[in-house]
């Protein structure tokens, strides 16, 4: 069994991944705070990814890394810079120094959130971040590309939509990702023999998607869950997600308008 480091193991998505990947890999869990307990084939290494020595110790001897650690929504610059820019840089640098071959980078839909929902975008679409958080994910994608080209650290960047047991609103019907479909993508990223640097979208089989996920399909991804199964219940209660025109128009929803909208028709937002 491969030994895989899971950063951000104590978070919501990390908790889903522990359950989904059980028995498939030996998991080395890391987080800033201690975890309650480890299961069979799990070990815990406490690490703050802003501390390079601690990060190297967490990475030493693993075959691959699932990098979920960091701040997962919009925040002030200091928070995003520390957790997502410095943390992700240290992680990649530790992977290079310790010889970890493959990294799964949890990118986000917010790296491309300024695209309109009517635009179908794919893995070749350049970032169009909707927030400092989205910018940090675009940075992570570029960092992955640099480390693949220059140092041979291979990466799959997953532009994750919204992970949960079911989609929670109209926008999430387009970007929903079930835990087992995320696990399938992660396993492809870790085990596919021919990955150097890839971008895929982290979504289930969503009929209302605005993403062309043919790159994931090419790599063997066959999502098992469909957001349409929840359509009736969601559409019965919700039509707008954000309560404003621009947020409902853009893929990133209210990350786009957060801090930006006094006047939703501001030219910069169009």
- Smallest separation (angstroms) from ligand 15L to the CB of 172: 6
- Smallest separation (angstroms) from ligand 15L to the CB of 101: 26
Torsional sign, CA 213, 175, 11, 52: positive
Q: Are the C-beta atoms of residues 234 and 214 closer than 8 Å to each other?
A: no
Between 30 and 251, name the residue whose CB sits nearer to ligand 15L: 251
User: Binding string to ligand 15L for residues 99 to 128, with x set by CB under 6 A, is what?
Assistant: ---------xxx------------------
Torsional sign, CA 95, 100, 106, 111: positive
Judge whether 133 counts as a catalytic residue.
yes
- Smallest separation (angstroms) from ligand 15L to the CB of 110: 5
Q: Which of residues 191-220 bind ligand 15L (CB under 6 A)?
A: none
Q: Which residue in the list 133, 147, 201, 221 is annotated as catalytic?
A: 133
Bridge partners of residue 42, in order along the sequence: 27
Bridge partners of residue 5, in order along the sequence: 28, 65
User: Binding string to ligand 15L for residues 141 to 160, with x set by CB under 6 A, is what?
Assistant: -------------------x
Is residue 67 at the binding interface for ligand 15L, with CB under 6 A as the rule? no
* Gap between the terminal Cα atoms of the chain: 50
Between 97 and 164, name the residue whose CB sits nearer to ligand 15L: 164
Longest dimension (CA), the chain: 55
**Count of alpha carbons within 13 angstroms of residue 161, beta-carbon side:** 33
Q: Are the C-beta atoms of residues 163 and 16 closer than 8 Å to each other?
A: yes
DSSP annotation of 125 reads P
Is residue 227 at the binding interface for ligand 15L, with CB under 6 A as the rule? no
Is residue 73 at the binding interface for ligand 15L, with CB under 6 A as the rule? yes
Q: Are the C-beta atoms of residues 147 and 101 closer than 8 Å to each other?
A: no
Between 55 and 108, name the residue whose CB sits nearer to ligand 15L: 108
- Smallest separation (angstroms) from ligand 15L to the CB of 246: 15
Options 30, 55, 72, 178; binder of ligand 15L; rule CB under 6 A: 72
**Count of alpha carbons within 13 angstroms of residue 70, beta-carbon side:** 29
- Smallest separation (angstroms) from ligand 15L to the CB of 22: 23
Distance of alpha carbon 241 from alpha carbon 158, whole angstroms: 24
Options 162, 174, 209, 257; binder of ligand 15L; rule CB under 6 A: 162
Q: Which of residues 5-64 bind ligand 15L (CB under 6 A)?
A: none
Q: Residue 215: what are its φ and ψ, rounded to 5°?
A: -70, -40
Residues that bind ligand 15L (CB under 6 A): 72-73, 108-110, 160, 162, 172
Query: Could you list the active site residues?
Result: 133
């Amino acid at each position: 069994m491969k030994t895989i480091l899971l950063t951000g193991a104590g978070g919501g998505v990390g908790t889903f991944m522990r359950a989904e990947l059980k028995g498939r890999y030996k998991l080395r869990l890391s987080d800033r705070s201690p975890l309650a307990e480890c299961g069979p084939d799990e070990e815990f290494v406490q690490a703050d990814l802003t501390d390079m020595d601690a990060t190297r110790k967490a990475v030493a001897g693993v075959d691959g890394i699932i990098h979920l650690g960091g701040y997962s929504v919009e925040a002030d610059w200091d928070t995003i810079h520390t957790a997502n820019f410095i943390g992700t840089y240290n992680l990649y640098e530790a992977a290079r120094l310790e010889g970890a071959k493959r990294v799964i980078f949890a990118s986000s839909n917010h790296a491309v959130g300024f695209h309109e929902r009517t635009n179908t975008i794919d893995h070749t679409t350049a970032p169009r971040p909707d927030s400092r958080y989205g910018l940090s994910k675009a940075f992570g994608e570029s960092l992955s590309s640099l480390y693949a080209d220059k140092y041979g650290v291979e990466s799959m960047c997953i532009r994750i939509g919204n992970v949960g047991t079911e989609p929670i609103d109209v926008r999430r019907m387009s970007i929903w990702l079930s835990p087992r479909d995320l696990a399938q993508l992660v396993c492809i990223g870790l085990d596919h023999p021919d990955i150097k640097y890839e971008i895929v979208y982290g979504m289930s089989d969503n009929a209302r998607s605005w993403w062309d996920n043919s790159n994931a399909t090419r790599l063997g991804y066959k999502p098992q869950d469909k957001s349409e199964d929840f359509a009736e219940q969601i559409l019965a209660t919700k039509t707008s997600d954000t309560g404003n025109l621009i947020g409902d128009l853009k893929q990133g929803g209210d990350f786009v308008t957060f801090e930006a909208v006094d006047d939703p028709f501001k030219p910069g937002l169009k």
